[in-house]
Amino acid sequence: MHGYAPTAKVDVDATHRYGQLVVHEQLKFSVAANEFICICGPSGCGKTTLLDMLAGILKPSQGHVLIDGIQANPKQQSISFVFQEPSTFPWLTVRENVATGLKINGARREEIEAKVGDIIRIVGLIGFEGYYPHQISGGMKQRVAIARAFATDADLILMDEPFVSLDQPTRERMQREVLDIWRHRKRTVIFVTHNLEEAVYLADRVLILSVKPARIVADLPVPLPHPRDPLSAEFTEIRSECVRLLHAPEGGDAPPFGSI
């Protein structure tokens, strides 16, 4: 398979179009096992379409999207998705929601109890195991969705702006919790966000997409140890570079960071 790197967990070399509209043109990148990648780009550049291809629910018009060398396919691989709005099952308790993926995968009862108990502790939901989604806050529902995604032995976890509807203090707490889960339960994560500060705070690498037809404008490593200080000179420098790269294809001056 041309372009596939044997050591890559995820390998993308794809073009996708809807009729005459080219959404992605020779979009090429790879992700190593257990890497945390953030993808940023202008509105309308096809980030959600890319996630659909990574999830295997949309086949690219040309090229490939591979997971462990095999075409992405949700029927063959375990792919977890965390959406912008909390995706909990209202008829299930917190514990039952977190256990859903494990039960679908046929995990043994002892394994389910151990993994669910561990991840509920990590996300700070101890004491709420028996609550139903209508009894907890929006931020807590999103914790449940994230815990469910990480509880399974997923080949890939896709996160589509999962904190966009949260207030700033809750968003910052959720960012810390996601990193804590990721460090404890190593998984390969691809996280889409419009928030460049969030991307630099979370990611091993930040991929910047251009306007349609989308290509990779930059693949920027973030060589900062966790926990990261958004006020540090190193953090600010990387964030500023992301801003510059995000707007470079449009040829205009980058607006202030807070307006993005």
pLDDT in tens, 94-132: 999 999 989 988 889 999 999 999 999 988 899 999 999
**At residue 137, does pLDDT exceed 80?**
yes
Contact 120/126 with Cβ under 8 angstroms? yes
Tens of pLDDT, residues 193-211:
999 999 999 999 999 999 9
User: What's residue 223's pLDDT?
Assistant: 96
User: What's residue 2's pLDDT?
Assistant: 40
89: helix, coil or strand?
Answer: coil
**At residue 255, does pLDDT exceed 70?**
no
**At residue 252, does pLDDT exceed 90?**
no
Q: The whole model's pTM is what?
A: 0.89
Tens of pLDDT, residues 25-55:
999 999 999 999 999 999 889 998 999 999 9
Distance, in Å, from the CA atom of 171 to the CA atom of 122, rounded to the nearest integer, reads 16
49 contact partners, CB below 8 Å, separation of at least 6: 16, 23, 24, 58
* Amino acid residing at 224: L
Domain ranges of the chain: 1-77+189-260
Q: Select 1-77+189-260's CATH number: 3.40.50.300, 3.40.50.720, 3.30.870.10, 3.90.950.10.
A: 3.40.50.300
**At residue 3, does pLDDT exceed 60?**
no
**At residue 258, does pLDDT exceed 60?**
no
Contact 244/55 with Cβ under 8 angstroms? no
User: What's residue 36's pLDDT?
Assistant: 97
